[in-house]
Amino acid sequence: MESSKREKRKVGLIGCGAIGSEIAVAIDSSRVNAELVAVYDACRERAYTLVSRLNKRPMIADSIEALLASDTELIVEAASQQAVKDYARSIVEHGNDIMLMSVGALLDDTFYAELCSLLERHGRRLYLPTGAIAGIDAIRSVKHMLKEVTLTTTKHPRALTGAPFFKEHRVNLKGLKKARVIYNGYAREAVRLFPANVNVAAILSIAGIGADKTKVKIVADPRARRNIHEIHAKGEFGELYFKVSNVPSPSNPKTSYLAVLSAIECLSRACNGRVSIGT
């Protein structure tokens, strides 16, 4: 038992895009106490490109079934919400722990409840990284007392273009001279109108008071050089305010560097964690 605890955990990866690749490289460079045994990507080409970069080459699975047939203990999803919906259940039923990047999929309450009961039944664990924000440790600690939680995301108009929100609302993004609140609502709706924000809004909702009570503001700021997430929370315990100014990931401008680093640290804790630092 003691020695087994010291052994590297056998990890499988679903999704070989930018984030999946960063995680794979972190494992390959021994930054995580794990062994990447198998990878899967709907685009086999992408899986090949990733594996060719690694020193210890994992098996390339040509289906989820093949991935689950390998002797993995923990599967990392870095693909899409759809992949979570399609595969999470069988991953757990095959006796794997699971770490999700596409946390937004858990805003489907029925699906989340079903996944939780499967985890219970199979004695497995679900790991959800904090992602591109911070302070989920404190939010979880005060969740029973939260009177109000607001996520304010500020981006350059350029970074907002194309969001479904603009199909219903005419906003002259290019014409903006100064910062403007373009959306003010709740997480449940916000993630539909601004899918780029989904994981941040989802983890905050899940850790705190849920997607129907968590407020979300979207601000377009022509002077914004970075994506900024702010969280305000209040309750009997006092007040919390977090501000995170994110630099894009070197490997993928659409992802915050912090989101990638957070995933690697979350996996690291899941794979070793003799010392659990932080609530």
Q: Which amino acids are annotated catalytic?
A: 229
Q: Which of helix, strand or coil describes residue 55?
A: coil
List beta partners, residue 216.
151, 185
Closer residue to a copy of itself (CB): 16 or 263: 263
Out of 38, 68, 266, 271, name the contact with a copy of itself by CB under 8 A: 266
Out of 6, 147, 192, 223, name the contact with a copy of itself by CB under 8 A: 6
Rounded to whole angstroms, the Cα distance separating 153 from 243 reads 10
Helical spans, DSSP H, in 7-101: 18-28, 44-53, 64-69, 81-93
**Angle between helical axes of 18-28 and 257-271 (0-180°, round to 10):** 40
Rounded to whole angstroms, the Cα distance separating 268 from 272 reads 6
Rounded to whole angstroms, the Cα distance separating 37 from 47 reads 13
What is the footprint of a copy of itself within residues 118-137 (CB under 8 A)? 119-131, 133-137
What is the footprint of a copy of itself within residues 207-226 (CB under 8 A)? 207, 226
Closer residue to a copy of itself (CB): 146 or 193: 146
What is the footprint of a copy of itself within residues 55-94 (CB under 8 A)? none
Q: Which of helix, strand or coil describes residue 245?
A: strand
Q: By CB under 8 A, tell whether 20 contacts a copy of itself.
A: no
Let me know: does 203 contact 136? Beta carbons within 8 Å: yes
Q: How far is the CB of 52 from a copy of itself (least distance, A)?
A: 26
- With contacts defined by CB under 8 A, name the span among 9-17, 80-88, 214-222, 236-244 that binds a copy of itself: 236-244
Q: What are phi and psi of 28, to 5 degrees?
A: -60, -35
Closer residue to a copy of itself (CB): 175 or 238: 238
Q: How far is the CB of 203 from a copy of itself (least distance, A)?
A: 7
Let me know: does 68 contact 90? Beta carbons within 8 Å: yes
> Which residues, at least 6 apart from 43, have a Cβ–Cβ distance to it below 8 Å?
16
Out of 166, 243, 251, 252, name the contact with a copy of itself by CB under 8 A: 243
Q: How far is the CB of 104 from a copy of itself (least distance, A)?
A: 14
Rounded to whole angstroms, the Cα distance separating 80 from 107 reads 14
Q: Which two tokens stand for residue 101?
A: 């990047």
Q: How far is the CB of 120 from a copy of itself (least distance, A)?
A: 6
Q: By CB under 8 A, tell whether 273 contacts a copy of itself.
A: yes
| Size of the residue set binding a copy of itself (CB under 8 A) | 63
Alpha-carbon distances, residue 199 vs 43, 191, 206, 276 (angstroms): 23, 8, 10, 24
Closer residue to a copy of itself (CB): 38 or 233: 233
Q: By CB under 8 A, tell whether 206 contacts a copy of itself.
A: yes
Binding residues: 132, 199
- Residues within the interface to a copy of itself (CB under 8 A): 1-2, 5-6, 116, 119-131, 133-142, 145, 203, 206-207, 226, 236-247, 256-258, 261-266, 269-270, 273-279
Binding residues for NAD(+): 132, 199
